[in-house]
Amino acid sequence: MTQLIDIDELAGYLKLKRQTIYNWLHEGKISGMKVGGVWRFDRKEIDNWLKSRRRLSKS
């Protein structure tokens, strides 16, 4: 089952400011969807994105 989190939850999870999340959305670094005018993020996609970034930094 897909677990959607909002921007505040994502910012807390990544220990980042909300503005950083908005910037990354604008730059296309992360993907999200608007549901009822509120940004939502798939927790599993975020975890996969983090794992892919970790692999890239080790290269």
**Would you place residue 55 in the very low, low, confident or very high pLDDT band (cuts 50, 70, 90)?**
low
* Rounded-to-integer distance, Cα 31 and Cα 49, Å: 10
Q: Where are the domains of the chain?
A: 4-58
pLDDT greater than 80 at residue 54: no
Report the top-level CATH class of 4-58: mainly alpha
Query: Per this entry, what is the length of the chain?
Result: 59
Q: Alpha-carbon dihedral of residues 11, 17, 19, 24, nearest 10 degrees? A: -60
Least confident span in 43-47, 48-52, 54-58? 54-58
Q: What's this model's pTM, rounded to 2 decimal places?
A: 0.83
Token pair in block for residue 55: 């692999």
Largest pairwise CA distance in the chain:
40
Q: How far is CA 30 from each of CA 24, 25, 36, 54, 56, rounded to the nearest angstrom?
A: 6, 5, 19, 15, 15
| pLDDT tens digit sequence for 24-44 | 999 999 999 999 999 999 999
